[in-house]
Structure 1
């Protein structure tokens, strides 16, 4: 019966010291779990008629088989571990078979899995790490091949290569696995079974495998950037929630902010939390300076050198947003030449590897590890001089006098109260503000400042760059496309091209029909057209 595998065996009734020795060895590790070890203590083992392959008495010898314990270990695999085991078997069947025939078996693959899982932190066994943990399994196999022995996972003193893989075949397989690891597992993508290439690509790791640095700096730095990005999103969100709670009137606005700055630092209990607190304090400080500057400008006071120096403290909170707010302060206070210098500095820093950060809007794919691997292009050795992230630029009502006039419509984006009622919890936190992606705001401010200085060619160039950026529709770096389109529409409006302005305002509706300031802009343009 070809589909059956029947083995005659004797049931061993008493506890075996070999099993107890294995349980003692595994105690205190991440895997196997305590519950499984307790179940293994009482699980029956079997005595099977199978001698050592090199023995002269192999027809009279017996061996222990803890197959029920091995079954429990296999059934404890999570989904990623199961997939890894399946891919190992596919490698065995398609790649190893060319070198060693059927000498490597499924039991060898299972044993390699046991050793790898035992020695790996559970957090690594997740879907997007499938290629990485597969690489770890091959490292384990390579180590045992170098030692010319693969121990049984449970029964001590058993070499699973004996009688299966000769010394010559072990050397041949070791050479191939060395090559496979050096080439970052590229041969795996050539396996034709079960469309495995596409399945592995769907785990979003092939880019890093092809980059040739799966085990090195690329993966480490990609994960570091991903974690930093997630942290900055959370920081932005926390700051917005705190801001929303304290946003009442100017008379009561500053004192809670001062208390927040003090409590953030005093309540930080270690170096990591103090670092996070300092970054949050920079955000709060930038906001405080902007609110104070708006108050001075409302009273028609001059923005003097002391206030400008204070604003410069928070420039390194990210690549662009704090500097853009500073440029906006300078523009609104009439310091156009100074604003241009700040904007030129931002443009020099805003290279193609910058990742936008928004605390409230999620774009599909913006958290994939490949996005952060792409950001490392050209920065493999020296690293980033500063973190390559840019927050969205946000203005609240208390900053109105530091805000370009067109963005005041964003603070009143609803036409009716029914639109306000449609907002979900997150939208209620930020929709009373003007929030815009840093890159479009940079080019819009350039259009305004160059226009104020009468530099017409540079003004038109800035407008063209803004239009090109939106036309590219960089889905992973444009969290507020409706606002960016409104800014571009306003550029056309200032050019006297009302048809072009209407076209972009109407394009803005594609992204957000209600709670969109474009509704006000269209009404205004229609009044201008009708005279």
Structure 2
């Protein structure tokens, strides 16, 4: 076989294997679309809670679509600080905000800047360094230290450069959070990039003009070894770089994924914190810019990979890797020790000279064995298998993020004791979301959160009416109806709860039948992010449907079931058996709450057991004994059939109270004891046990 035929053959097999593990055009687009929806939901949630015009940006591999399940890429989030404004010219100064003048002179490392603090009442320099994070330099300028971004990190976060890292937890990816300040103007050091043009005519002039309009950020980390390390701020063009990554073709994306797999397999294990995936990305962008775009196709993947690795090798030899947009910024400056450098060079030399055979050693995503199988023809490649799994994970992760933000909003609202103020806050949230729904891509995210809040606002109004012994007003029902289809069950279950509490059993039964018909046990995934626990694998039918459907909004409605939550202001729309969950914590239990237990002042229950519980209550009222027994049997069975329930102790408490109503006291006690075994503290089961024992001993004591 000739050299040309060999590289073409290997390239095609590599492309097929990467397609199999989810690095294909469809999955890349799906990853990007869902991650951008998540970005909007994060931003909306924070803006509502903090009442500040801040933004959150999703960056890195997960939003670019340049990752696989085996790479375990972290989620990179950039939070903008809303009260600060970085300017490059005095004419940009604004009154009433913290204006920071970007200084880029000969004392500052390329790609970095100093931030001079200006007065808020006049376009003049601040003269008094009275804050612990302010520093007066030798010429009298008051500068902002980059250590200020350490504030508020929390015990669970570790500082890595400009990022505060949250390690991977059971069922959740790790996350790097970067606090940044926004500068509306394109950085001075990057203006030369706008005018230069590489041999490959990429990026185009139109792309560069778009990049210029994205401005930049400054993040709190100085150049390593610089005399001004604690004062320097890195200039970040992250949004422009994300846009450039979105323009790459599938072969270029596959090449980058392979570079990261090589990095993880051959280099990071021996030399951690040496070459980063960002350096690999930068090298690849330089390579794309210097070659014809037509050279990047499935037939030439191996050639493109070796070219990128060769350029990376030369960068390491020379200790020089220029930033793609700010080339004066050397990403490899003072990065390697002589020993580390030699190890990296030896590894890269081995991989390049192997002409693709070294890739057989990659265990990430079983890449090596999959490549070998294509040569041995042991099995046909079925791209859909891995893509289905990834699709299910992406959709469920989006559902988690929606629920996480809703929980935070509800907790903040629940802190307000005055019911009228509470309703006003919910109403303000709803009006802001309704306004933002007209803002293009925000529509889906705003609509999703607005429906949740509408449901709670309607339920709270109904609870007030029930407390004053008035009938439920039409406005309450209209508001709750708007949130009926937030997912498969939770919105409808809240409406059914309200009708049950009003004594309207017929309408309650009608809604419960509708829920049961739409709740496909083989597809629907329960969503709970109230606290961490290891989730089991998704249902195969769920994953398949997520892969085949491109409308994420429809998927979130038809394939997921969120927790059902009741605020204390909704207590009269909550069955008395569930009301106990709002008061689960004694004074002795409160110190044992964790940082993630903010939901514990609400009544929260998983949708499926709550459906069976409401059926039991409804059929008890209707005196339909057989249906009632079927409901209580389903409630008991669902613990075995559905392993992803979050609030198992609450479901057991409901089952125990059903057993009490059936006069099966021993079974009820067993349920409460099992509930305590799951959660020993902050559990309403303690109250139920005390009450049950008193009722059992009452006749004896008399």
**What TM-score bracket applies, with the shorter chain setting the length?**
0.5 to 0.7
SS in 2 for 1:515: coil
| TM-aligned CA distance change 1:84 to 1:528, over 3 Å | same
CA drift of 1:291 comes to 0.8
Preserved CA contact (<8 Å) 2:458 2:478: no
Structure 2 distance, partners of 1:465, 1:483, is 16
| TM-aligned CA distance change 1:374 to 1:211, over 3 Å | farther
| TM-aligned CA distance change 1:420 to 1:190, over 3 Å | same
| TM-aligned CA distance change 1:254 to 1:260, over 3 Å | same
The residue number in structure 2 matching 1:71 is: none
Find the partner of 2:576 among 405, 420, 431. Answer: 405
Preserved CA contact (<8 Å) 2:605 2:651: yes
Q: Does 1:330 align with 2:499?
A: yes
SS in 2 for 1:253: helix
Segments of 4+ moved more than 6 angstroms:
26-29, 114-117, 149-153
Q: Does 1:143 align with 2:299?
A: yes
Structure 2 distance, partners of 1:153, 1:517, is 60
Trace 1:178-217 onto structure 2 (pairs within 5 A).
Answer: 187-188=370-371, 212-213=383-384
Find the partner of 1:308 among 460, 469, 477. Answer: 477
CA drift of 1:290 comes to 0.4
| TM-aligned CA distance change 1:233 to 1:211, over 3 Å | farther
Find the partner of 1:251 among 402, 416, 420. Answer: 420
| TM-aligned CA distance change 1:276 to 1:238, over 3 Å | farther
Trace 1:228-377 onto structure 2 (pairs within 5 A).
Answer: 228-245=398-415, 247-266=416-435, 270-303=439-472, 307-352=476-521, 353-365=523-535, 371=538, 375-377=542-544
Q: Deviations over 1:281-306 (max 9, x none)?
A: 21111101101111111122233666
Preserved CA contact (<8 Å) 2:458 2:477: no
| TM-aligned CA distance change 1:118 to 1:506, over 3 Å | same
Structure 2 distance, partners of 1:146, 1:267, is 46
Preserved CA contact (<8 Å) 1:225 1:372: no
Structure 2 distance, partners of 1:431, 1:151, is 56
SS in 1 for 2:516: helix
SS in 2 for 1:496: coil
SS in 2 for 1:317: coil
Preserved CA contact (<8 Å) 2:459 2:476: no
Find the partner of 2:284 among 108, 114, 118. Answer: 118
| TM-aligned CA distance change 1:262 to 1:399, over 3 Å | same
| TM-aligned CA distance change 1:228 to 1:517, over 3 Å | same
Which of the pair is proportionally richer in strand? 2
CA drift of 1:351 comes to 1.4
The residue number in structure 1 matching 2:631 is: 462
- TM-score, normalised via structure 1 length: 0.60
CA drift of 1:389 comes to 1.5
Is there any run of 5+ residues in structure 1 with no aligned partner, and where? 1-22, 30-76, 87-113, 122-138, 156-163, 178-183, 192-208
CA drift of 1:115 comes to 11
| TM-aligned CA distance change 1:333 to 1:211, over 3 Å | farther
| TM-aligned CA distance change 1:141 to 1:303, over 3 Å | closer
- TM-score, normalised via structure 2 length: 0.47
The residue number in structure 2 matching 1:492 is: 659
The residue number in structure 2 matching 1:394 is: 565
Instruction: Point out which structure has higher relative CO (alpha carbons under 8 A, 6+ apart).
Output: 2
Preserved CA contact (<8 Å) 2:392 2:546: no
Q: Deviations over 1:60-113 (max 9, x none)?
A: xxxxxxxxxxxxxxxxx9863334669xxxxxxxxxxxxxxxxxxxxxxxxxxx
| TM-aligned CA distance change 1:408 to 1:230, over 3 Å | closer
